[in-house]
Amino acid sequence: MSVELVEVVRSGFRECIHRGSLIVLDPDGEVLVSLGEVHTPIYPRSSNKPMQAVALLRAGFVPRDSAELAIATASHEGEADHVEAVERILSGAGFTEKDLRCPTDLPGNELTRAEVLAAGRTPRSIYMNCSGKHAAMLAACAANGWDTDGYTDAGHPLQQLVTETILELTGDIEDADLGIDGCGLPIVPVPLFNLARAYSRLATAEVGTPERAVADAVREHPFLISGTGKDDLKLMRAVGGLLCKAGADGIHAGALPDGTSFAFKIDDGHERARLPLTAALLHRLGAGAAANAATFDSERLAVLSSAPVFGGGVRVGTVRAVPGVF
């Protein structure tokens, strides 16, 4: 059964509550915190992307720099730097935007979206937040001579490798029926316990491995894997060396450099719960997190752990982790 994780307080009144499940593991994989259904499979959504990127490297995707690898793990906002990075992967592998099989969309960033609409432009596949992953998948197919028209199909050699890689990194989970993610690709269901363990493996992987390459690219380019004002960008700037990746519908997973890891799912999928919960969790880890981070901005985390609630343009409340939940 899930538990109360995040509350919304307005004018001193508890207005809303977000329930969910959460796991925190120490560097040895032992449980520090376990709340709710942490062994029940969920769809990690985009929190699976770093593991998918590991599979792409294993399949022969050769990014020309860490920025190209970062955009392959991204849930980007369609901003200029994001679009440019995706275009670089496509052109480098001999493809164009027309080869992408992700849906068309407008940029997620409000300003960029407004500029696109003001210019009379229409939704494009490259604006879709998963376009970097799709571009890298095309490049991996080209490296192997695989068919590209069907690269999104679960039976495609690339998707079979992706599934095998996720099952390997998460470990000790039974094959489960694949779902279809928002971008049209297969999605592997994973329990929160196993998701956290996979992030620990990525964060502590040996230099020179695909796992370490992905972890380093994400940590080096938090803007590329998210975008202006996004949760992952704010958190990785506050905690140096943190590896984290948000997923749609209230998912978040991450790990510190020493392998301390976490994963959670908000039952109602509301994304406002994610940032204050993760910030409060990292703040709660405190000295241990600080000792394993290049930078640890405790004051910044404290601010992020209390998202504002407004009334008439004035702050009248907060979105925060339920006191004493950890």
Whether 77 maps to a domain, the answer reads: yes
- Is residue 131 in a domain? yes
Q: What is the pLDDT along the chain (326 residues), one digit of tens a residue?
A: 899 999 999 999 999 999 999 999 999 999 999 999 999 999 999 999 999 999 999 999 999 999 999 999 999 999 999 999 999 999 999 999 999 999 999 999 999 999 999 999 999 999 999 999 999 999 999 999 999 999 999 999 999 999 999 999 999 777 678 999 999 999 999 999 999 999 999 999 999 999 999 999 999 999 999 999 999 999 999 999 999 999 999 999 999 999 999 999 999 999 999 999 999 999 998 867 766 777 889 999 999 999 999 999 999 999 999 999 98
pTM (2 d.p.): 0.96
In a domain, 85, yes or no: yes
Instruction: Decide: 143 and 108 in contact? Cβ < 8 Å.
Output: no
Whether 326 maps to a domain, the answer reads no
Provide the residue count of the chain: 326
User: What is the 8-class DSSP label of residue 296?
Assistant: B
Q: Which domain holds residue 13?
A: 3-321
**How many structural domains compose the chain?**
1
Q: What's 106-144 look like in SS3? A: CCCCHHHHHHHHHCCCCCEHHHCCCHHHHHHHHHHHHHH
> In CATH, what number is assigned to the domain containing residue 279?
3.40.710
In a domain, 269, yes or no: yes
Interval 136-176: pLDDT, tens = 999 999 999 999 999 999 999 999 999 999 999 999 777 67
User: Would 173 be classed as within a structural domain?
Assistant: yes
Does residue 37 sit within a domain?
A: yes
